[in-house]
């Protein structure tokens, strides 16, 4: 019976956060709630809370091939867009998590369409936008190489932020290369 209550509390917490963010997006709330919820301290707290409520044990899964984010480095063109970049791909590709982290947003935004934002353990917050499908739910943990979405040929939005600073294109490429070197 106690486990059932844990699930209900978790669902209500996630629903409340999603409602408050929606109210912020519609201009009903002036407080930047999304910024408050996506600070690294809040993300760490929510991650630990979620894991403790669900009694989720950490397990290691061996991967037989190096999937990683190598394919994200094959873009043919890049242009500045909002706080990130639009990367052009000639073929469709799967998008994988670069490392372990917490999904802090999945949904549709006005400028980047289907978008997923992940707070990674290295302190970076990465938004992947203009995805064609999403493979993870909000406030779930992901491990390196977990599928997070699919992208058909065309533009993919990517924005990386760390310590309130958005990465430039060179830093994004270095981050993607570093992630792949660790796999």
In a domain, 63, yes or no: no
Does 109 share its domain with 25? no
Residues 6+ apart with CB under 8 A from 1: none
Write down how long the chain is.
183
Residue corresponding to tokens 């929510």:
46
Say whether both 120 and 174 belong to one domain: yes
Does residue 136 sit in the same domain as residue 50? Answer: no
The tokens for 181 are: 């070197």
- pLDDT value of position 73: 85
Name the DSSP class of 57. Answer: P
More confident of the two residues 14 and 96? 96
150 CB-near residues (< 8 Å, 6+ apart): 92, 93, 94, 95, 131, 132, 133, 135
Which of the pair, 122 or 60, is modelled with greater confidence?
122
The Cα 169–Cα 62 span in angstroms is 31
For 31-63, write each residue's pLDDT tens digit: 665 555 555 556 566 656 655 555 544 444 444
Do 81 and 42 share a domain, yes or no? no
Q: 30 and 74 share a domain?
A: no
Same domain, 109 and 49: no
More reliable by pLDDT, 27 or 179: 27
Band of pLDDT at residue 68, cut at 50, 70 and 90: low
More confident residue, 37 or 158: 158
* 139 within domain boundaries: yes
Residue 60 lies in a domain: no
**Residues 125 and 150 reside in one and the same domain:** yes
**Residues in a beta bridge with 157:** 86, 129
- Average pLDDT on 160-164 reads 93
Within a domain: 113: yes
As for how many domains the chain has, the answer is 2
Using a pLDDT cut of 70, give the percent of the chain over it: 65
Range of the domain at 29: 2-54
**Domain of residue 116, CATH code:** 2.70.70.10
Helices (H) and strands (E) in the chain, counts: 4, 11
């Amino acid at each position: 019976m106690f486990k059932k209550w844990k699930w209900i509390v978790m669902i209500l917490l996630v629903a409340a956060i999603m409602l408050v963010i929606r109210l912020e997006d519609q201009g009903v709330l002036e407080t930047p709630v999304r910024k408050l919820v996506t600070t690294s301290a809040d993300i760490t707290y929510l991650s630990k809370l979620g894991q403790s409520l669900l009694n989720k044990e950490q397990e290691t899964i061996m991967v037989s091939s190096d999937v990683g984010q190598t394919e994200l480095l094959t873009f043919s063109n890049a242009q500045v867009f909002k706080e990130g970049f639009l990367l052009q791909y000639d073929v469709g590709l799967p998008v994988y998590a670069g490392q372990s982290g917490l999904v802090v947003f999945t949904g549709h935004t006005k400028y980047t369409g289907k978008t997923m934002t992940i707070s990674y353990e290295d302190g970076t917050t990465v938004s992947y936008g203009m995805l064609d499908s999403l493979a993870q739910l909000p406030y779930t943990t992901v491990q390196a190489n977990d599928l997070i979405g699919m992208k058909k040929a065309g533009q993919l939005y990517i924005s990386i932020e760390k310590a309130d600073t958005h990465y430039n294109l060179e830093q994004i490429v270095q981050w993607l290369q570093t992630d792949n070197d660790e796999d």
